[in-house]
Amino acid sequence: MHLSAFTVVDSYPEDVAAGRDRFAEVLALAETGDRAGLTAIWVAEHHFHAGGVCPSPPVLLSAIATRTRRIRVGALVSVLPFHNPVELAEQYAMVDRLAGGRLNLGVGSGYIPLEFEGFGVDPATKRERFDSALETLVAGLRGEAIVPSGTGRRPLNVTPVQSPHPPLWIAVQRREALPFVARRGVSVALVPYATVASVEELGGQITEFRSHLPKGAKVTVSVALHLYAGVHPERARTALQRYLDSRLATQSAFYQDKVRRDPSHASAATIERTGFALFGEPADVVARLEPFRAAGVDEVLGIFDFGGLSQAEVTGSVESLTARFRA
């Protein structure tokens, strides 16, 4: 099982007023992860709200690529219904070039109503838009002719280092979507705090996903968890509550539905009790990751920089947990 970092790049008005720079902090997180031995750093795409202030993952990943040497750089996710897939193929091909072939590309269809409103996209069309855009995106990254011209079509003028294209993940928040993703033979990303109630339920989803994979498919099951390794877990608990409150305020649809069904899941204490937030001494956190390995998780996407935790807390958590995880 691999350990990576995943940042939503959540921001808070009072922190901005105090002079905090979330982009500088994400770059520092990437540099720390690169030195410490994390497998990858993933960044989310969000628009029009402070729950996530990275509207352009290719820009941020390009900056990360120039400051790191080993760690893989990933988008989780590129929201396909909001973009021209030809432009996305160009941008991510460039990121893979700048990173020397270290790009992981996660894609999704979107889930926050405000973002659909901002782009003037009808959420009812998102599945159709996603499928069409993904086909064009992958074809472009493969070097196929996708750009209309007077004599037919032509390929992009930049192609990625990785062949036939950078590895693909699809983010899934509805269990019924798992078979469709699996049949594509691509990796999957799951965010269980927002969708399921227990590690056992998560394990059932992973088993179902693997049962629908084509024979011989080599994929990665990546799962996001809030992690803190250090001597002040109470700070992590306060930060997690702040983070959860912000997700509800931004109308994070699947998490809202989960809380509507069981209001206790709006509490940081419940998320920690169900095992999707692991706080404590490094050895204890690593031990509590074992049920996820047993459930079939291949990569833990550690959300380290949540809820306004200080840069020192985040850096210390990554360094101490990675050292123990690799021991």
pLDDT confidence of residue 251: 87
Q: Count the neighbouring beta carbons within 10 Å of the beta carbon of residue 57.
A: 28
Question: Residue 248: CB partners within 8 Å, gap ≥ 6?
Answer: 255, 256, 259, 266
Phi, psi of 290 (to 5 degrees): -60, -40
pLDDT digits (tens, 9 = 90+) for 193-249: 999 999 999 999 999 999 999 999 999 999 999 999 999 999 999 999 999 999 999
Rounded to a whole number of angstroms, the distance between the first and last alpha carbons of the chain is 13
Any idea what the Cα angle at residue 60 is, between residues 55 and 63, rounded to 5°? 160
Q: Which residue has the tokens 């729950």?
A: 51
Cβ atoms 291, 253 nearer than 8 A: no
pLDDT confidence of residue 23: 98
Q: Which tokens sit at 33? A: 């992860």
Instruction: Give mean pLDDT, residues 133-143.
Output: 98
Say what the pTM is: 0.97
Question: Domain residues of the chain, as ranges?
Answer: 2-225+293-306
pLDDT confidence of residue 327: 65
Share above pLDDT 70 across residues of the chain, in percent, rounded to a whole number: 100
- Of 74, 106, 90, 83, nearest in space to 140 by CA: 90
Q: Which tokens sit at 239? A: 């930060």
Lowest mean pLDDT among 89-93, 148-152, 226-230: 148-152
pLDDT digits (tens, 9 = 90+) for 50-87: 999 999 999 999 999 999 999 999 999 999 999 999 99
The CA–CA distances, whole Å, from 80 to 20, 63, 121, 253, 309 equal: 30, 22, 11, 18, 30
Cβ atoms 300, 292 nearer than 8 A: yes
Place domain 2-225+293-306 in its CATH homologous superfamily.
Luciferase-like domain (3.20.20.30)
Cβ atoms 22, 307 nearer than 8 A: no
Report the C-alpha gap between 11 and 300 in whole angstroms.
23
Cβ atoms 315, 325 nearer than 8 A: no
If DSSP codes are grouped into helix, strand and coil, which group holds residue 312? helix
Q: Which tokens sit at 125? A: 């069309």
Instruction: Give the single-character DSSP code of 116.
Output: H
pLDDT confidence of residue 326: 81
Q: Count the neighbouring beta carbons within 10 Å of the beta carbon of residue 24.
A: 10
pLDDT confidence of residue 148: 87
